[in-house]
Amino acid sequence: MAEIVFPENFEWGAATASYQIEGAYNEDGKGESIWDRFTHQKGNIANNDTGDLACDHYHRYQEDIKLMQKIGLDTYRFSISWPRILPAGNGKINQKGIDFYKNLVEELLEAGIKPAATLYHWDLPQKLQDNGGWENRDTAKYFDQYAQIMYRELGDLIPRWITHNEPMVVSMVANLWGEHAPGNQELQKALQVAHNVLLSHGLAAQSFRESGIDGELGITLNLNHVYPNSDSKKDQIAADYCDAFNNRWFLDPVFKGKYPEKLMDLYQNKFDQPFEVKAGDLDIISREIDFLGINYYSRAVVKYDEDEFYNFKTIKPEAEYTEMNWEVYPKGLTDLLKRLDREYTKGPIFITENGAAYDDQIAEDGSVHDPKRVNYLKEHFKAAHQALEAGVNLAGYYVWSLMDNFEWAYGYNKRFGIIYIDYDNHQKRILKDSARLLKDVIENNGLKNK
Ligand code: GAL
C-alpha cells in the first residue's frame, strides 16, 4: 500500500512539443515555422543548435510510444505543428501533416494512452509572421480556422485539447525580452501579442463547443507563485506587481473577463493606447473552458525596486537550483494550486508540465542515473498531493519532459527528459531512473516512501 495515494481517476502522463522533438523540419510538405527561421539565424541559440533533426520523433514515434507504454503512461501531451497542417498558416491543407498526427494518435489509443493535443506550442507558420504574426489580429482568426480543421479531422480521436501553451512566453519572452522567436523587444508589441493569443484561444474554444465534439478543452498557463522578500509593505507591492505581470495578466482575462487594473493603469500612463482591444473581445476570451492546465517549475521571490518599470526585482534566495538556475521550491506548487482554487477555478486543473533540467551522463554500464530529478519529481508529487488533500480539484500530472529535447534558446544543452537522448549516437533512447520512478508512481498511484 502506497503511503501517498492519489485519487482513483488521477491521470499520469508526460509532455513534449512538436518543434522540440519532431525534427523533419522540411519533410512531407511542412511549411517553415518561426522557429525554423529563428534557429537558422546564427547567434540566436546556444551552439547554434536547431530543431532540424531534434529527437527525430517524426520518424520514430512508434518506438517512442512503446517507451511510453513501458513507463505505463495513462496520457501523453504533445503538440501539433501548425505549419505541418497548413504550410502557409491558412489556405491549403497538407494531408501528410494530418496523417502524421492521425497515425500518432491511433497508435497511442491502441497502446491505451490517452492523447492530449496542444494546438500551439510556439511554432507559428513563418508566412503568418511575415504579415505581423501574433501582433496581427488576423492571426487569431487563422488560428481558429486551423483549430477547426483539427477538430474536424481528429476530434473523434483526441479527448483532450489545449489551445495554447504559455501565452506569457509567447508574448513577453518572445516579444519583450526577445529571447524566443520572433525575437522582438517592444512592450506594446508584446501586449498586442498577448491579447491576440488570448483572443484566438477564446475563438477556438467557441468553435470547439460549436463542433459538438465530445472532448474537453482548456488552456495551459505558466504560473509561478510569487513571494515578497520580506514582510515590508514595499516588498508586498513588488510581489503584487510581479504576480500581475506573470500570472494575473493571463488568468484574469480567461477567468474573469478583464485585465488587472494595476497594470492597465501603468500601461495607460505610459502609452496613449497600449494595445487594441475590441468590444466583445473579453467576452470571447472568457468563454467557459473544461479545465485549466498549469506549467509549474519554480517560484519567484521579489523585492521592491523603484528604478524598475514594474517596481520589482527578482532575487535568488540561497537554495537548491536546477541546471536552468531555477530554484527547487515544491511548496510553491501547493501554494499556487490552493490559490487557483480559492480565486479562479474549482477545476479540474491539470499540471501540464513540471520537471527539471540536470546535467545527466551515461554511466559506464550504459544506464543514466538522475537522482536530482528523481528527488525533484518526488517532492513535487508530494506537493501536488498536499493540494489535493486541501481540496483542490487536481485531475492529472504531466511530467516535462518525456525525453530530452531542443530546449529553445538553450538548444540541446539542457536536459529535461525522463528518457535520455544520446545525440551523438543516432538519438538512442535510454530510460533514466526518473522514468522508473514515474513507472512506480503510476503502478502504485502514489509514493511508497514519504
Ligand atoms: C516551458 C515550455 C516547454 C519547456 C519547459 C522547460 O516553458 O512550455 O516547452 O521548454 O518550459 O523550459
Confidence grade of residue 450 (pLDDT, cut at 50, 70, 90): low
Protein residue with least CA distance to atom 4, ligand 1:
407
Report pLDDT for 123: 98
Cα of 35 vs centre of ligand 1, distance in Å, is 14
Which residues define the annotated binding site?
20, 121, 165, 297, 400, 407-408
Q: Examine the pLDDT at 449 and tell me if it is beyond 80.
A: no
Whether a cis peptide bond, with omega within 30° of 0, leads into 125 is: no
Which residues define the annotated binding site for substrate?
20, 121, 165, 297, 400, 407-408
Going by C-alpha positions, the residue among 35, 23, 323, 402 that lies closest to residue 183 is 35
Q: Examine the pLDDT at 79 and tell me if it is beyond 60.
A: yes
Query: Which residues are known to be catalytic?
Result: 166, 353
Query: From residue 405, how far is each of 72, 412, 421 by CA, in Å?
Result: 21, 6, 8
pLDDT tens column, 407-420 = 999 999 999 999 99
For residues 16-41, one letter each, b for 16 or more C-beta atoms within 10 angstroms of the residue's C-beta and e for the rest, the string is bbbbbbbbbbeeeebbbbbbbbbbee
Query: If you average pLDDT over residues 25-37, what whole number do you get?
Result: 98
CB-ligand 1 contact for 17 (6 Å cutoff): yes
Cα of 296 vs centre of ligand 1, distance in Å, is 10
Cα of 283 vs centre of ligand 1, distance in Å, is 29
- Domain boundary assignment for the chain: 2-229+240-297+317-448
CB-ligand 1 contact for 298 (6 Å cutoff): no
Query: If you average pLDDT over residues 181-199, what whole number do you get?
Result: 98
pLDDT tens column, 279-335 = 999 999 999 999 999 999 999 999 999 999 999 999 999 999 999 999 999 999 999
Report pLDDT for 448: 87
CB-ligand 1 contact for 335 (6 Å cutoff): no
pLDDT tens column, 202-260 = 999 999 999 999 999 999 999 999 999 999 999 999 999 999 999 999 999 999 999 99
CB-ligand 1 contact for 322 (6 Å cutoff): no
Q: Examine the pLDDT at 138 and tell me if it is beyond 70.
A: yes
Report pLDDT for 175: 97
pTM: 0.98
Whether a cis peptide bond, with omega within 30° of 0, leads into 81 is: no
Protein residue with least CA distance to atom 9, ligand 1:
17
Query: If you average pLDDT over residues 138-152, what whole number do you get?
Result: 98
Measured from the Cα of 355, ligand 1's closest atom is 6
- Beta strands, E only, 284-360: 291-295, 300-304, 312-314, 349-353
Q: Examine the pLDDT at 2 and tell me if it is beyond 80.
A: no
Whole-number mean pLDDT of the chain? 98
Going by C-alpha positions, the residue among 76, 88, 90 that lies closest to residue 32 is 88
Beta bridge partners of 218: 162, 291
CB-ligand 1 contact for 259 (6 Å cutoff): no
Coil/strand/helix, residue 40: helix
Measured from the Cα of 20, ligand 1's closest atom is 9
pLDDT tens column, 47-62 = 999 999 999 999 999 9
Protein residue with least CA distance to atom 10, ligand 1:
407
What is the secondary structure of 152-196 as a DSSP string? HHHTTT--EEEEEE-HHIIIIIHHTS--STT----HHHHHHHHHH
Q: Examine the pLDDT at 365 and tell me if it is beyond 60.
A: yes
Confidence grade of residue 337 (pLDDT, cut at 50, 70, 90): very high
Report pLDDT for 399: 99
CB-ligand 1 contact for 163 (6 Å cutoff): no
Report pLDDT for 322: 98
Q: Give domain 2-229+240-297+317-448's CATH number out of 3.40.50.460, 2.160.10.10, 3.20.20.80, 3.30.70.270.
A: 3.20.20.80
